[in-house]
Structure formats: structure tokens, C-alpha cells
């Protein structure tokens, strides 16, 4: 008897969680589809069927982290319903602090992903999928939280893309502490909104 739910999303999530743990423990270069299969208790073919090649696994892993950050950003924005500058400033602060506390991102950003293989390009030179997913998730949140803001939906999209790019840049090469970086981005948002 079918319950109407699919096992595939649960299996995919379990495989991604195991891949994240392997990366944190041994570095990205040591992750193989065989190791991941053994750790998850499935066949190697199942891993390939669910996640594709290792580069596809890398992208899926970074997109999974992006989804987690977007959820947290939404929670923070909801606590600042009337003030987009305060909301975005708090959301940036959250994202920077969460990145520092995230074991997988610490591994990626420290360059200890292992050997010549690295996940870092997925946040720098090949950041397109992460950027697109973050913008697609966060721009609607901002439009919903701040309907009175003087930005059209397209302008919110451009603003969020710019802020995410700044955030990624700060994660990869910080030039200020979390509080200073968040305040600077808050200043940008205030100017953007005409404040």
C-alpha cells in the first residue's frame, strides 16, 4: 500500500548528509562514490542514480547548505517585519555567523577540502548555482516581508543578487568582522531604499 510519499528525497538527503560528514572528516578529495555508498549502506550505482557524478554531488552539497542558510535568513527577516534595513542587517549577521559555525563551510573556506580538489570554486568562480538558488529563495522573502519598500520585484532580485555576491565575497576573503560587515551591508540597503 502506497503512502503517496517518495523514498528518493529521503535517500538523497541521507546521501548528502553522509557526503557532508565525509568531507568534514577527511576532506573533499577523499570523498568517493564508493565510500559514500558504503557509509550510507547502498550500492555505488544507487549513489550515481541519486546524485550523478562527483561534480554534481559537489553542487548538490553546496545547494543543500544554501537552502539551510536561506531558511535561517527567512526566520531572521520574520523577526523584523517593519524594518527592511534592520531585517537585512540581522540576516547578513546571521549568515556570516552561521557560516563561521558551519563545519562543512569552515572546511571549504579553510581550503582543507583536500588536495587539488576543492569545493571552494562553488562559492567563487563557479558560484552561479549557489547564487541563483539563494536569490530565488531570498528575493521573494524580502518582497513578502517588506511590501512597502520602494522596490519592484525585479529590483529586489537585483538587490538580493548584489547582497549575496557581497556576502560570498566576505566569506571567502573577509575584510572586517561580522558586526562591521553586517553594518556595512545594512548601510548599502538603507541607501538602496532611499534612507
Q: What would the mean pLDDT of 72-90 be, rounded to a whole number?
A: 94
Say which residue, 1 or 97, is predicted with more confidence. 97
Instruction: Single out the residue of 120, 78, 74, 121 nearest to residue 98, CA to CA.
Output: 74
Residue 111 is predicted with a pLDDT of 67
- Average pLDDT over the chain, rounded to an integer: 89
Could you read off the pLDDT of 175-185 as tens digits, one per residue? 889 999 999 99
- 54-192 maps to CATH 1.10.357: yes
**pLDDT of 2 strictly over 80:** no
pLDDT tens per residue, range 95-136:
999 998 998 888 888 765 445 568 888 888 888 999 999 999
- The DSSP code sequence of 103-171 is HHHHHHHHTTT-TT--SGGGGTTT-HHHHHHHHHHHHHHHHHH-TTSS--HHHHHHHHHHHHHHHHHHH
% of the chain residues with pLDDT over 70: 92
C-alpha cell at 66: 544554501
User: How large is the average pLDDT for residues 141-163?
Assistant: 94
Give the residue with greater pLDDT, 5 vs 193.
Answer: 193
Locate 97 and state its grid cell: 555567523
pLDDT at position 162, please?
94
**pLDDT surpassing 70 at residue 66:** yes
CB 60 within 8 A of CB 14: no
For 53-75, b/e burial (b = at least 16 CB within 10 A) is ebeebbbbbbbbbbeebbeebbe
Amino acid at each position: 500500500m502506497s503512502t503517496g510519499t517518495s523514498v528518493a528525497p529521503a535517500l538523497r538527503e541521507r546521501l548528502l548528509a553522509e557526503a557532508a560528514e565525509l568531507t568534514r572528516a577527511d576532506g573533499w578529495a577523499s570523498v568517493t562514490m564508493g565510500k559514500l555508498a558504503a557509509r550510507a549502506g547502498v550500492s555505488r550505482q544507487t549513489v550515481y542514480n541519486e546524485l550523478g557524478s562527483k561534480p554534481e554531488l559537489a553542487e548538490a552539497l553546496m545547494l543543500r547548505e544554501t537552502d539551510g542558510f536561506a531558511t535561517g535568513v527567512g526566520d531572521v527577516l520574520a523577526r523584523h517585519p517593519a524594518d527592511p534595513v534592520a531585517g537585512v542587517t540581522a540576516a547578513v549577521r546571521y549568515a556570516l555567523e552561521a557560516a563561521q559555525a558551519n563545519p562543512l563551510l569552515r572546511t571549504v573556506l579553510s581550503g582543507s577540502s583536500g588536495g587539488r580538489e576543492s569545493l571552494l570554486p562553488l562559492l567563487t568562480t563557479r558560484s552561479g548555482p549557489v547564487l541563483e538558488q539563494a536569490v530565488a529563495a531570498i528575493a521573494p522573502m524580502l518582497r513578502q516581508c517588506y511590501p512597502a519598500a520602494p522596490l519592484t520585484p525585479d529590483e529586489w532580485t537585483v538587490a538580493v543578487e548584489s547582497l549575496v555576491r557581497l556576502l560570498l565575497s566576505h566569506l571567502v576573503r573577509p575584510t572586517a568582522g561580522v558586526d562591521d560587515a553586517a553594518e556595512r551591508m545594512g548601510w548599502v540597503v538603507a541607501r538602496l531604499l532611499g534612507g
